[in-house]
Amino acid sequence: MANIKLKDGSVRSVEDGSTVLELVKQVSNSLAKKVLAAKMDGKTVDLMTPITKDAEIEFLTFEDEDGRWALRHTAAHVMAQALQHLYAKDGIQFAIGPAIENGFYYDIDMEKKLTDSDLKDIEKEMDRIVKQNIPMIRKEISRADALEFFEEKGQSYKVELINDLPEDALISIYEQGDFTDLCAGPHVVSTGKVKAFKLQSVAGAYWRGNEKNKMLQRIYGTAFEKKEDLAEYLHMLEEAAKRDHRKLGKELDLFSLHEEGPGFPFFHPNGMVIRNELINYWREVHRRYGYQEIKTPMIMNRKLWETSGHWDHYKENMYFTQIDGEDYAVKPMNCPGGMLVYKTHVHSYRDLPLRLGELGLVHRHEKSGELHGLFRVRNFTQDDAHLFVTPEQIEKEIQHTIDLFDEVYKTFGLSYTAELSTRPEDSMGSDEIWEKATAALQHALEARGLNYIINEGDGAFYGPKIDFHLRDSIGRTWQCGTIQLDMLMPEKFDLTYVGEDGEKHRPIMLHRVVYGSIERFIGILIENYAGAFPVWLAPVQVKILPITDKHFDYAFDLRKKLFDLGIRVEVDERNEKMGYKIREAQVKKIPYALVIGDQEMQDGNVTLRKYGEKDSQTMSVDDFIKLVQDKIASKEEKY
């Protein structure tokens, strides 16, 4: 008998040689219908894996990342089997077919060039294979047998993969009816588990990602446990395509990207309105929360970056220059400059916590293939702050910071989840310091009652961090805010404060950002609002539409009145039909369009058409002004 410890701490005994699936059924038959894979002593395995010794086993469902991975990996094999059935005569060769985030793909090599229309035929064959509920059978074979099998099948890419494996590597294959693939697994028990799938696109991909190798065809797809979840995901993708910030950024004339500066965005007047409103709001919130604003240089010498550790740990992401024969670096982060500002004064414990905020322009060397609109750029403004605290103030200051985050994210209608990231491999400092810093962050989260997950090894090189993942209006998540606890840089820069005992002590430093990158946050907001910004953020808040030129004087008098009150307003004086003008105001997503005709002039009123609404309403100018001012002051999302 083998003794198995489950995740809840309970222990079950099973006969040696029993499968993990038999164990699951022993626990619960209803659970067995949901479990897709398992972790045995930390390693993800198939449910048909035999149990041969005492072990710790955790059952994995679609709610678990590794459970989703197993289902989607199997979906890739189902697709490969369908491709074999349909295109064997075309001499199809299979390369690799892994699960990936949100789906799977398979790289293939054949003469026939697949198009999106072919995906329907492949899906039909996949559906037939799923209904057959073919078992996924794992077999371990020798290198010689594996080579013989795939050479006989004419699968040269599989042969290459086998030859590249270490001599002592364990080689496994998976059989599903008439299809056999070289694969380490794991998979679900049978093809019947892949009930909800969709093939999405065909793209080109170099074999092994090397442009010197042959270009293969890559078929992308996704799979879910339930059809309703798949439908929801596909709807989200449709919405995301409509909301693409690069597309809307061009249509709404917010920003542009140019070959003359790849990764360096150009903001247009409309985009600058949004940017400046975000900065104004940032300053107003931070003033209330006790921050002081600083500004530090963009270029500083090599010695500073060596002291901070960036020269050794972040050099590949930095830009460099020389001044008077000395090495300088363009700053990728604001923190070293904040250290120097702190050191200009002698500080007492009475000065702490000291909160120094900076809207600092930073530059980072991102690879050209990774650049993506405003989401991945080479220069951006980081809404940084560095908080200098005593050890006793750590938890209270983290709570104070999360209070600020709550207020800001609520303003934009964004909820969040928290993630605690621990020590990475490339880091500096002792284990003791890291354990102390990580425990402080963990205790602050737990004291606040915040649910969080632990992301092992993803901290900054100088300390652990809490990341805040924002959920937008269509359910996507974005990592924006972060709080990083740093006990190392104060040591490196010899920062001190005078304590109550009159002695010098070392402060603790918290790095934190709310927006993260202002550029990226703007991209997120464009997609969150689908370009229809709340009134306070809208580049043009009011568009006045005079029906004919005899209404121009009234329209421009109204424009001046609104403009003088700080409202962003334009007059559409073009000789176009009113229906056209109204439609264009809607296309440009302007919150309020005001139609001006004879009746409005006579009564001193306006006819208001709100964005996204078909009906109009007539109101006095004063009532309209109050409406706009209230929406701006409240930062309300609705018009």
Could you tell me what percentage of the chain is helix, strand and coil, using 3-state DSSP and rounding each to the nearest 5? 40, 30, 30
Please tell me the predicted confidence (pLDDT) of residue 401. 94
What is the C-alpha separation between 233 and 554, in angstroms, rounded?
Answer: 50
Q: For residue 209, what is the enclosing H or E element?
A: none
Mapped onto helix, strand or coil, the DSSP state of residue 174 is: strand
Q: What are the backbone dihedrals phi and psi of residue 451, each rounded to the nearest 5 degrees, phi first?
A: -70, 140
Please tell me the predicted confidence (pLDDT) of residue 475. 83
Q: Which of 81, 382, 484, 541 is catalytic?
A: 382
User: What SS3 string covers 471-529?
Assistant: ECCCCCEEEEEEEEEECCHHHHCCCCEECCCCCEECCEEEEEEEEEEHHHHHHHHHHHC
What is the C-alpha separation between 143 and 167, in angstroms, rounded?
Answer: 8
Q: What is the mean pLDDT of residues 79-98?
A: 94
Q: Which of 66, 181, 383, 384 is catalytic?
A: 384
Q: What are the backbone dihedrals phi and psi of residue 77, each rounded to the nearest 5 degrees, phi first?
A: -70, -35
Q: 């793209």: which residue's tokens? A: 203
Express as a percent the part of the chain with pLDDT over 70: 100
Write out the DSSP string of 374-396: TTB-SEEEEEEEEEEE-GGGHHH
Please tell me the predicted confidence (pLDDT) of residue 168. 86
Is residue 285 predicted with pLDDT exceeding 80?
A: yes
Classify strands 592-596 and 542-546 as parallel, antiparallel or unpaired. Answer: parallel
**How far, in Å, are 35, 335, 339, 363, 511 from residue 462 at the CA level?**
39, 11, 14, 19, 10
Q: Is the peptide bond before 186 cis (omega within 30 degrees of 0)?
A: yes
Contact indicator for 32, 61 with CB cutoff of 8 Å: no
pLDDT digits (tens, 9 = 90+) for 467-492: 999 988 888 888 899 998 887 889 89
Q: Which of 193, 465, 589, 631 is catalytic?
A: 465
Q: Is the peptide bond before 353 cis (omega within 30 degrees of 0)?
A: yes
Amino acid identity, position 528: N
Mapped onto helix, strand or coil, the DSSP state of residue 222 is: strand
Please tell me the predicted confidence (pLDDT) of residue 453. 87
Q: Which of 243, 335, 484, 520 is catalytic?
A: 335
Q: Which of 218, 355, 511, 551 is catalytic?
A: 511
Write out the DSSP string of 35-79: --EEEETTEEE-TTPBP-S-EEEEEE-TTSHHHHHHHHHHHHHHH
Q: Which of 310, 331, 378, 386 is catalytic?
A: 386
Is 0.75 topped by the overall pTM?
yes
What is the longest distance spanned by two Cα atoms in the chain?
A: 95
pLDDT digits (tens, 9 = 90+) for 313-352: 888 999 999 999 999 999 999 999 999 999 999 999 999 9
Residue 445's pLDDT band (boundaries 50, 70, 90)? confident
Residue 432's pLDDT band (boundaries 50, 70, 90)? confident
Please tell me the predicted confidence (pLDDT) of residue 516. 92
Answer positive or negative: Cα dihedral of 467, 470, 471, 472. negative
On average, the pLDDT of the chain sits at 93
Q: Is 335 a catalytic residue?
A: yes
The CA-CA-CA angle for residues 346, 349, 350, to 5°, reads 95
pLDDT digits (tens, 9 = 90+) for 602-638: 999 999 999 999 899 999 999 999 999 999 999 998 8
Q: Is 511 a catalytic residue?
A: yes
Q: What is the mean pLDDT of residues 98-114?
A: 94
Instruction: Provide the angle, in degrees to the nearest 10, between the axes of the packed helices 621-634 and 552-564.
Output: 40
Is residue 426 predicted with pLDDT exceeding 80?
A: no
Q: Is 479 a catalytic residue?
A: no
Please tell me the predicted confidence (pLDDT) of residue 313. 83
Q: Which of 68, 77, 331, 364 is catalytic?
A: 364
Please tell me the predicted confidence (pLDDT) of residue 109. 96
Is residue 433 predicted with pLDDT exceeding 80?
A: no
With CA atoms as reference, report the closest residue to 262 among 169, 167, 344, 371.
Answer: 371
Q: Is 121 a catalytic residue?
A: no
Please tell me the predicted confidence (pLDDT) of residue 80. 97
With CA atoms as reference, report the closest residue to 510 among 639, 338, 367, 306.
Answer: 338
Phi-psi region of 327 (alpha: psi -120 to 50; beta: other; left: phi over 0): beta
Contact indicator for 381, 359 with CB cutoff of 8 Å: yes
Residues contacting residue 394 through CB under 8 Å, at least 6 positions apart: 440, 444, 485, 508, 510
What is the C-alpha separation between 552 and 26, in angstroms, rounded?
Answer: 81
CA gyration radius, the chain: 30
Express as a percent the part of the chain with pLDDT over 90: 78
HSE, CB side, 13 Å, CA atoms: give it for residue 450. Answer: 24
Q: Is 324 a catalytic residue?
A: no
Q: What is the mean pLDDT of residues 155-163?
A: 95
Q: What is the mean pLDDT of residues 208-233?
A: 94
